[in-house]
Copies of this chain bind each other. A is one copy, B any other.
Amino acid sequence: MEPDRWLGVELRHLAALQAIAEEGSFGRAARRLGYTQSAVSQQIATLERIVGERLLERPGGPRPVSLTEAGRLLLRHAEAIVARLDAARADMEALSTGAAGTLRVGTYQSVGKRLLPALLRRFRDAWPDVEIRLTESSNDEELLELVERGELDLAFVIYPLVDGPFEVRQLMRDPYVLVVPADSPLAERHRPVSVREVAELPLIGFRQCRSLVQVQSYFRGRGLELDVVFQSDDNGTVQGLVGAGVGSALVPRLTMDEHEERTVMLELEPRVPPRLIGIAWHRDRYRSPASRAFVETAAELAAELEAAANSAAAPAAA
């Protein structure tokens, strides 16, 4: 098979394949794309001739068309290619507009609650014409996939990162704390809790969270096993259940609301190694001035937040 023949594949053909897969018929796909049904039929015929496989099953009559295995395979590549083209367009726009444009940033819940609001306010003051478009996920590895595909410009991440074409700037350390009901005996002691005591508590944890895996590894390294009796994806749910006396939670400090009166955050003794939060981007992509500035602003703000948290915690550790 000649390479040149595959260079005859056209992005609008791939877009047609995508539209057909979603709509289930050539006619509806054609309407969506602004063609007639016969034009789309011919585009797909051209694409099938180039790739040498049938991409769609045409059952006839009113039944929907569906992708063949070859069609599904090609569609995955098509989606990645179209996403990369979108990234190229975003980079080109960032280059030509310099001080304006859009930044697509991936974030997850705990960063979203504490760091991000202040970061957005500060960044907008400095770059009023840059639009920040946020994507939230509970899974930072998913965010990194989007960075790799070019669908995100930046993403908040937790160390260690999965292997990939990334560069990362470390932002801050987010220590683990034990969150207990405010009226519990542990809360009234006003001093750190030993890891041995923690292992004896019923714990509420996060469902999809590499942090939990990390602290479980730490505890196992000390011959202890955590007793996780309930899991949730929602920070508020976790903290609410702790406040209701259902259990305690061993979680990164940033995930909790320090103003919640029904719970108290306690340090551990010895300290569990904190999770490290960073911000990553694709090593091969153009880094606009806005993107660089966003990373710098995030680093400044994270340093301030960390300093403030350390000075607030110091009296309790005395």
Task: Report which A residues bind B (CB closer than 8 A).
Answer: 1, 3-4, 6-12, 15, 33-34, 51-54, 57, 59, 64, 66-70, 72-74, 76-78, 80-81, 84-89, 91-93, 95-96, 101-103, 149-151, 153, 165, 282, 284-286, 288, 291
Chain B contacts for A291, CB-based, 8 A: 69
Closest B residue to A4 using CB positions? B34
Contact of A74 among B4, B80, B92 (CB under 8 A): B92
A87 to B6 alpha-carbon distance, docked (Å) = 11
Main SS of the interface on chain A?
Answer: helix
Chain B contacts for A67, CB-based, 8 A: 150
Chain B contacts for A10, CB-based, 8 A: 10-11
Contact of A284 among B76, B85, B92 (CB under 8 A): B76
Give the number of times this chain occurs in the complex, counting copies.
Answer: 2
Known contacts A69-B286, A288-B69; is-contact A87 B77 (Cβ 8 Å): yes
Closest B residue to A64 using CB positions? B149
- Give the 3 A-B CB pairs with smallest separation, nearest first: A66-B150, A77-B88, A7-B12
**Contact at B68–A285, with CB atoms within 8 Å?**
yes
- Minimum CB–CB distance for A48 against chain B, Å: 11
Known contacts A150-B64, A165-B59; is-contact A77 B73 (Cβ 8 Å): no
Contact of A89 among B1, B54, B81, B150 (CB under 8 A): B1
- Minimum CB–CB distance for A162 against chain B, Å: 16
Chain B contacts for A80, CB-based, 8 A: 84, 284
